[in-house]
């Protein structure tokens, strides 16, 4: 190495240098061993690294080949950027070159960026280099900054020559790492960094070159130690990681090599080639997910490389992720160059077809419309056919007409003014208009038959039925045996708008052909006949469908409904009773068959179908309650029946089970319906289902379960009068003595002012002989309903019982009170057999026999309240009156009264 005119050659012992770099000796010991100045040694080491790296490590480091060119570029950048040194500091790559030039102009600070990094604990206080480092300057500065001792530089003369002096901290690895992080963000935004430009700080470039030399000579362990030392000082620098990856790849440790490559890629994400290499390494290790990630990164930073796109697409195809494949194709479509129009159009059509098959119409429309606007000179009739088909599927018939008018020469004019072209607003108006046609269509010669058919479909949906006849005639000129699919498209358009006669004329031609004598065509033909009321011909057409496709459920159900309309219910039942080969039944078929069976009164057969459907509908709850599931399985979607249909089926099945005496099965079904909550859509529906469950338990004589269920029911619905009546009925039949405590707890804790509970508590107190408590409970109810006849009667009867007790005080006052409430009862209830019997019976109990006789006779003279014989009280009135006659000694009168009364 030569510096200026000094011909003295600087030599360095490499073994001692490696010992110092590995940390085996300190900086002072290494300096004493060499006997040279520090700066000379570092300059010599840098010179050796720079000279050896291109010769021996050229195949390992791409950056070394371009080092001389980049140094010239950096020098030029430094000369041009002296006007604004602060801005140069922020840049990652230019800061190092600028600091070198600044050192030559200002010799006061000789620890610039050319100085190799030395850890702080190894720096010496007396650090005076003997030689200069860097390139010779062309023009010496006018003023030279004198050397300064240790300490803070002066503020007034810190930058005389226009270049700011560099402090020791600015050259540290931490400051370099921070500058590198800031610069990376700007580089990623600009998507540009000069290839080959070193990212290692100048203080460590010599060590990096030595690591490359060691690797080239086969010294892997020494190179690894050097790289780790650089990583320790500059952890965000990607170069040592790349070298480590190459070292471990040479040692056949591909896993570690891949790990270091990925770290380097993440530290320098804009290097798309490195991402691609990592992806290939991942594929060698069969890690497809990581390879996809690497390819995505490479595409992100270099979208013009089409090979990465294709590799990523092939990987997603191997994973059978069709959605990702389509997304990648769209990314590839955007990355194609402008001069590849044919490839763009072909790829766009393939993507559109794939989206069309999946039913994704909107992205397909966006892609094909973009292709039309980007390459209008490459549009063909096939492309127009695809775009028109997408608009038709999307029910945008006006846009489809506009496409054919723009690209195929189809002239659409107004009938009122042939010179005026019909606008899109008029097309939309014509779709809503049911009057005369407003279109006049001129079809150019040579228009493909597919576009003619689509033109007819669009005109039909725009309700231009007179105009479309000319288009249909052009279609009819073609052979239906070859163009049957186009015939069917036009016929379906007619069916959608309810023009079954026009559709029938096209379908009749198709069913007579050889190629289109298919089940789908016969099914459309049968639907048209059914809509026109020709049931016999429709039944024959549906049978043709079943002959071609025996398991066609829609045709079987439709044929059964046609036979029912014709009055052939047995034939319809036979059609629906056909069992498939795999012993499965469709939901809709079983539903229609169950309706037929219920209407004909075949309850046992109906119960089988009903339970088959309901068990599948509430399967988990049914099995939880001990129900057995049938071997016959259902196929189809249970949601084809709405909630009302399921509830109707449940009610009919429950009623049929009760009528046939299958009470245990009915109870299992009702419990399953309550637990599953599928029938409890609304509050009223939930109330009905729960109450039906209690009734089924009661009819099955399972009073204990019924009592428990009705208690929970009363907690939730305390204002339901029917529930309280049913609760009383269940307690009377079950002879449960605990119900009075339940009523008291419910009254105290929750329902203090419930009228039904007041009556029940009064009844319980009266039965137990506590007439005072009974009167208190009845009076609570009386305060709520003063004009209720039943409450007035029960108060009067309770007071009468109190008056008849042995140790009662003021007996006469109680008689008066009891009779007063009984008269209020007669007033609100009206004079009838019931009131006469109840008042007479109370007076009879008190001992007022003459008044009781009067009420008994009055009751015998009155007719029954209803036609129901159970409410005819003449026998009871005659019997009680005969007892009074016998008590008074008039036995003949008693015998005559009983003989004249029908009991």
pLDDT tens-digit series, residues 363-411: 888 888 888 888 888 888 888 888 888 888 888 888 888 888 888 888 8
Nearest Cα residue to 459 out of 446, 470, 444, 449 = 470
Answer yes or no: are the C-beta atoms of 529 and 538 closer than 8 Å.
Answer: yes
For the chain, give me the number of helices (H) and strands (E)?
A: 45, 4
- Choose one of 251, 271, 292: the last residue of a domain: 251
Q: What is the pLDDT of residue 902?
A: 54
What pairs with residue 584 in β-bridges?
633
Domain membership of residue 245 (yes or no) is yes
Number of structural domains found in the chain = 2
What long-range pairs does 691-698 form, CB within 8 A, spacing at least 24? 691/722, 691/723, 692/651, 692/654, 693/667, 694/726, 695/726, 696/654, 696/658, 696/663, 696/666, 696/667, 696/670, 697/667, 697/670, 698/726, 698/729, 698/730
- The torsion angle over the Cα atoms of residues 802, 806, 807 and 810, rounded to 10 degrees, is 60
The pLDDT value recorded for residue 688 is 85
Q: Each residue of 753-795: pLDDT tens digit? A: 788 888 888 888 888 888 888 898 899 889 989 989 999 999 9
Higher pLDDT, 199 or 496: 496
pLDDT band at 624 (very low <50, low <70, confident <90, very high): low
pLDDT of amino acid 385: 86
- Domain-embedded: residue 31: yes
Of 230, 251, 272, at which residue does a domain stop? 251
Mean pLDDT of the chain: 74
Q: What DSSP line would sit under 408-453, residue for residue?
A: S--EEEESS-TTSBPPHHHHHHHHH--SS--EEEEPPTT--HHHHH
What's the pLDDT score for residue 824?
92
- % of the chain residues with pLDDT over 70: 73
On whether the CB atoms of residues 145 and 108 are closer than 8 A, the answer is: yes
Quick check: is 298 in a domain? no
Q: Among residues 251, 275, 295, which one ends one of the domains?
A: 251
Place of tokens 């039942």: 573
Which helix (H) or strand (E) segment holds residue 770: the answer is none
Contact 802, 772 (CB under 8 A): yes
- Specify burial of residue 478 (Cβ count, 10 A radius: 0-12, 13-18, 19+): middle
Rounded mean pLDDT of 820-828? Answer: 92
Asked if the structure places residue 45 within a domain, the reply is: yes
pLDDT tens string 713-738: 888 888 888 888 888 888 887 777 77
Contact 762, 779 (CB under 8 A): no
pLDDT confidence band for 169 (50 / 70 / 90): very low
Q: How far apart are CA 200 and CA 222, in angstroms?
A: 19
* Percent of the chain whose predicted confidence (pLDDT) is above 90: 8
Residue 56: how many CB atoms within 10 A of its CB?
A: 15
Q: Residue 795: its pLDDT value, please?
A: 93
Is residue 163 over pLDDT 60?
Answer: no
Q: Which residue has the tokens 């294709």?
A: 310
Q: Tokens standing for 510?
A: 């198709």
List, in order, residues 6 or more apart from 140 with CB less than 8 Å away. Answer: none
CATH of the domain at 878: 1.25.40.10
With 80 as the cut, is the pLDDT of residue 316 above it? yes
Q: Is the pLDDT of residue 111 over 50?
A: no
Three-state SS for 649? helix
Q: Residue 588 and residue 639: Cα distance in Å, rounded? A: 10
Instruction: Give the span between the Cα atoms of 441 and 177, in whole angstroms.
Output: 73
Is 698 or 195 the better-scoring residue by pLDDT?
698
Residue 336 placed within a domain: no
Q: Which of 233-247, 287-301, 679-693, 762-776 has the lowest mean pLDDT?
A: 679-693
Q: Is 462 domain-assigned?
A: no
- Assign 157 a pLDDT band (cuts: 50, 70, 90): very low
Residues 6+ apart with CB under 8 A from 592: 557, 560, 561, 576
The bridge status of strand 439-442 relative to strand 584-586 is unpaired
Please compute the mean of the pLDDT values over residues 854-882 and round it to a whole number.
Answer: 84
Residue 89 lies in a domain: yes
Residue whose token pair is 């440790």: 253
Q: Which residues contact 150 (CB under 8 A, 6 or more apart)?
A: 125
Structure tokens at 576: 């629906």
Q: CB of 383 within 8 A of CB of 349?
A: yes
- Decide if 871 contacts 863 (C-beta within 8 A): no
User: Does the pLDDT at position 665 exceed 80?
Assistant: yes
What pLDDT sits at residue 26? 66
Predicted confidence (pLDDT) per residue in 207-242, tens digit: 889 889 999 888 889 999 999 999 999 888 999 998
Q: 725: exposed, middle or buried (C-beta count within 10 Å: 0-12, 13-18, 19+)?
A: exposed
pLDDT value for 794: 92
User: What mean pLDDT do residues 464-487 have?
Assistant: 87
Q: Is 80's pLDDT higher than 50?
A: no
User: Domain range for residue 844?
Assistant: 832-903
At residue 464, the 3 state secondary structure works out as coil
d(CA 793, CA 902): 28
pLDDT band at 56 (very low <50, low <70, confident <90, very high): very low
> What pLDDT, on a 0 to 100 scale, did the predictor assign at position 620?
65
pLDDT at residue 129, as a whole number: 38
Contact between 839 and 862 (Cβ < 8 Å): no
Cα–Cα dist 42/20, whole Å? 12
Backbone φ and ψ for 421, nearest 5 degrees, come out as -80, 140
Measured from the Cβ of residue 366, the count of other Cβ atoms closer than 10 Å reads 13
Q: What is the mean pLDDT of residues 576-589?
A: 68
Distances (CA, A) of 144 to 157, 166, 298, 825: 11, 16, 50, 128
- Return the bridge partners of 421, or none: 413
> Given a cut of 90, is residue 55 above it in pLDDT?
no
Task: Provide the pLDDT for residue 43.
Answer: 40
**Nearest 5°: phi and psi at 6?**
-80, 120
Q: Cα dist. 42→31, 46, 51, 155 in Å?
A: 11, 6, 14, 30
CA distance 611 to 613: 5
Cβ neighbours around 49 below 10 Å, total: 20
Print burial letters for 327-364: b (CB count within 10 Å at least 16), e (below 16).
ebbbebbeebeeeeeeebbebbbebbeebbeeeebebb
Identify which of 694, 602, 702 has the alpha carbon closest to the alpha carbon of residue 652: 602
pLDDT, residue 435, reads: 56
| 181 has a pLDDT exceeding 70 | no
Q: What is the mean pLDDT of residues 175-204?
A: 49
**704 inside domain:** no
pLDDT band per the 50, 70, 90 thresholds, residue 174: very low
| Mean pLDDT within 607-618 | 84
Q: What is the pTM of this model?
A: 0.54
- Please state, in angstroms and rounded to a whole number, the distance separating the CA atoms of residues 275 and 253: 19
Give the SS3 label for residue 567: coil
Q: What is the CA radius of gyration of the chain?
A: 51
Spatial distance between the Cα atoms of 190 and 184, rounded to a whole number of angstroms: 10
Whether the pLDDT of residue 524 is over 70: the answer is yes
């Amino acid at each position: 190495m030569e510096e200026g005119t000094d011909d003295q050659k600087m030599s360095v012992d490499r073994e001692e240098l490696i010992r110092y770099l590995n940390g085996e000796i300190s900086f002072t010991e290494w300096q004493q061993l060499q006997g040279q100045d520090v700066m000379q040694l570092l300059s010599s080491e840098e010179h050796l690294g720079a000279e050896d790296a291109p010769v021996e490590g050229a195949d390992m480091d791409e950056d070394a080949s371009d080092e001389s060119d980049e140094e010239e570029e950096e020098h030029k950048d430094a000369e041009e950027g002296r006007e604004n040194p602060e801005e140069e500091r922020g840049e990652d790559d230019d800061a190092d070159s600028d600091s070198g030039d600044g050192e030559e102009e200002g010799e006061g600070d000789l620890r610039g960026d050319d100085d190799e990094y030395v850890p702080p604990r190894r720096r010496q206080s007396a650090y005076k280099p003997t030689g200069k480092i860097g390139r010779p300057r062309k023009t010496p500065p006018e003023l030279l900054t004198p050397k300064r001792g240790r300490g803070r530089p002066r503020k007034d003369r810190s930058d005389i020559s226009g270049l700011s002096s560099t402090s020791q901290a600015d050259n540290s690895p931490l400051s370099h790492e921070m500058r590198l992080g800031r610069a990376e963000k700007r580089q990623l935004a600009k998507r540009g960094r000069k290839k080959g430009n070193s990212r290692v700080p100048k203080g460590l470039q010599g060590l990096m070159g030595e690591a490359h030399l060691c690797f080239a000579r086969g010294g892997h362990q020494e190179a690894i130690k050097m790289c780790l030392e650089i990583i320790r000082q500059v952890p965000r620098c990607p170069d040592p990681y790349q070298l480590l990856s190459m070292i471990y790849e040479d040692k056949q440790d591909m896993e570690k090599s891949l790990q270091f490559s990925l770290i380097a890629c993440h530290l320098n994400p804009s290097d798309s080639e490195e991402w691609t290499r990592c992806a290939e390494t991942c594929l060698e290790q069969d890690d497809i997910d990581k390879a996809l990630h690497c390819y995505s990164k490479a595409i992100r930073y270099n979208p013009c490389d089409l090979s990465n796109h294709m590799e990523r697409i092939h990987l997603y195809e191997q994973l059978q992720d069709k959605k990702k494949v389509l997304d990648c194709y769209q990314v590839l479509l955007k990355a194609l160059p402008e001069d590849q129009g044919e490839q763009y159009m072909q790829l766009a059509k393939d993507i559109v077809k794939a989206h069309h098959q999946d039913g994704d119409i909107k992205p397909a429309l966006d892609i094909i419309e973009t292709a039309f606007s980007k390459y209008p000179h490459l549009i063909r009739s096939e492309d127009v056919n695809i775009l028109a088909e997408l608009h038709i599927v999307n029910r945008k018939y006006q846009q489809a007409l506009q496409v054919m008018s723009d690209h195929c020469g189809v002239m659409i004019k107004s009938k009122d003014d042939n010179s005026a072209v019909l606008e899109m607003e008029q097309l939309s108006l014509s779709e809503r208009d049911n009057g005369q046609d407003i279109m006049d269509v001129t079809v150019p010669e040579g228009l493909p038959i597919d576009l003619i058919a689509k033109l007819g479909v669009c005109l039909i949906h725009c309700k231009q039925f007179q105009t479309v006849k000319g288009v249909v005639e052009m279609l009819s000129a073609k052979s239906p045996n070859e163009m049957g699919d186009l015939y069917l498209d036009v016929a379906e358009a007619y069916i959608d708008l309810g023009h079954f006669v026009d559709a029938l004329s096209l379908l009749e031609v198709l069913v007579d052909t050889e190629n289109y004598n298919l089940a789908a065509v016969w099914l459309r033909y049968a639907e048209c006949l059914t809509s026109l009321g020709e049931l016999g011909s429709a039944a024959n057409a549906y049978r043709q469908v079943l002959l071609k496709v025996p398991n066609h459920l829609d045709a079987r159900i439709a044929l059964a409904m046609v036979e029912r309309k014709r009055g052939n219910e047995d034939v319809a039942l036979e059609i629906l009773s056909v069992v498939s080969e795999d012993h499965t039944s469709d939901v809709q078929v079983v539903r229609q068959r169950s309706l037929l069976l219920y209407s004909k009164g075949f309850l046992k057969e109906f119960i089988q179908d009903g339970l088959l459907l309901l068990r599948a509908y509430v399967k988990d709850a049914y099995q939880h309650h001990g129900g057995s599931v049938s071997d016959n399985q259902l196929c189809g979607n249970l949601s084809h029946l709405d909630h009302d249909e399921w509830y109707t089926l449940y009610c009919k099945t429950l009623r049929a089970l009760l009528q046939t005496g299958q009470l245990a099965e009915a109870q299992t079904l009702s419990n399953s319906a309550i637990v599953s909550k599928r029938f409890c859509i609304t509050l009223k529906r939930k109330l009905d289902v729960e109450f039906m469950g209690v009734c089924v338990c009661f009819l099955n004589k399972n009073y204990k379960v019924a009592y428990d269920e009705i208690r929970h029911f009363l907690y939730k619905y305390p204002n339901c009068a029917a529930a309280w009546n049913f609760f009383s009925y269940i307690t009377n039949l079950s002879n449960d003595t605990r119900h009075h405590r339940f009523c008291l707890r419910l009254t105290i804790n929750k329902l203090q002012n419930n009228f039904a509970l007041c009556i029940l508590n009064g009844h319980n107190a009266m039965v137990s002989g506590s007439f005072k408590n009974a009167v208190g409970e009845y009076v609570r109810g009386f305060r709520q309903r003063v004009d209720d006849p039943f409450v007035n009667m029960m108060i009067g009867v309770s007071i009468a019982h109190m008056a008849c007790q042995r140790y009662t005080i003021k007996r006469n006052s109680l008689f008066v009170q009891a009779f007063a409430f009984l008269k209020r009862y007669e007033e609100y209830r009206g004079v009838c057999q019931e009131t006469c019997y109840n008042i007479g019976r109370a007076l009879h109990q008190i001992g007022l026999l003459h008044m009781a006789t009067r009420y008994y006779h009055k009751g015998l003279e009155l007719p029954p309240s209803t036609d129901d014989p159970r409410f005819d009280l003449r026998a009871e009135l005659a019997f009680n009156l005969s007892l009074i006659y016998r008590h008074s000694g008039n036995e003949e009168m008693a015998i005559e009264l009983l003989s004249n009364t029908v009991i």
